[in-house]
Structures are given as C-alpha cells and as structure tokens.
Amino acid sequence: MDIFVVDDERIIAETLAIILRGFGYDAIAFCGALPALKARALRPKLLLTDYNMPDLDGVTLIRRFLADQQGIAAILFTGNDGHCSTELQDYGRDPRRRVLIKPLAPERLLEEVAMLIGAPSGAPAGRLADFQHGTPVCGAALEACSTTRKGQAVCGNL
C-alpha cells in the first residue's frame, strides 16, 4: 500500500485518492482518522491527512501511526493557515513530514508525494501535463479540494 488519504470530508479524501491513483499510486481514502487507524496494519508508505478532523487531529493520527511504523512519511494539510502553530511548524521540520495549505494544487501535491516516497512504478507519462492544461478532471478535483462544508456532516462510517 502506497498512500492512506484521510479527511473528514469524504469528497476530499476520495478526490485526492483518485488523483493519486491516476498517477499510478496505490491510494485508499478514509473518511476520518479512526477508520484509517483500524487499517494501519496495511502499512502505507505515506499518510496524507487533514489536520482538523472531529475524531482525531492529523498530528495525533500521525503520531499513532509512528508508534507502529517509524519510517512512515506524512503530509498534513489544512484549510486554515492559522493552524500553522508552533507545533505544526516543528512537525514540518522533519524531512519525512510536510505541511500543505488547502486548496492543494495537484502538481504541488504530486511533487511532495514523489519527494517523500518516490514516483510510482509504471507511472503514466504526461499525466501531470494534463493537470497543468486544465482538463475537466483537474477542474473538478480542484473544486472538490477547495470546497468546504462547515457544519455539515458529510461522511459516515466506511
């Protein structure tokens, strides 16, 4: 397993997983931190997680994964750059950890993923160029990743 994508908004988790799978990564989406914790025996190479979630925050989720899997890489993302507290700034100093602010540009996300876990084997050639030229998939993905639904319950149990 390459990547766990974790967000409390199902559409964001699924959209990011679709983007990553489209580039050849083995990615699975989780709606919330607790379902991802239950599946940690799959030992992903990378944990891509939202910071602000109702069940556990992203930093706590990463720490729990690190208790079982020291070498896991992690990207923490947030829609509020005000969340960039000292704790998050310290977290981002580790070379195997990144902090990104939403909305996430697909090319930036893919660059960070490749730097942390390498390019996927058999990656489709030219796919990044598709995103840079504004394909419909790119537009839908960017819209989904930048849309927030404050106060709405957008996901249940997986």
Kindly report, residue by residue over 29-47, the tens digit of the pLDDT.
Answer: 999 999 999 999 999 999 9
CATH superfamily of 3-146: Response regulator (3.40.50.2300)
**Which residues neighbour 56 within 8 Å (Cβ) at sequence distance 6 or greater?**
33, 34, 37, 64
Q: What digits encode the pLDDT tens for the residues 61-115? A: 999 999 999 889 999 988 776 655 556 666 656 788 888 888 888 899 999 999 9
Asked whether the bond before 103 is cis by omega within 30 degrees of 0, the reply is: yes
* Domain-wise residue ranges, the chain: 3-146
Average pLDDT of the chain, as a whole number? 78
User: Which residue has 């990011």 as its token pair?
Assistant: 16
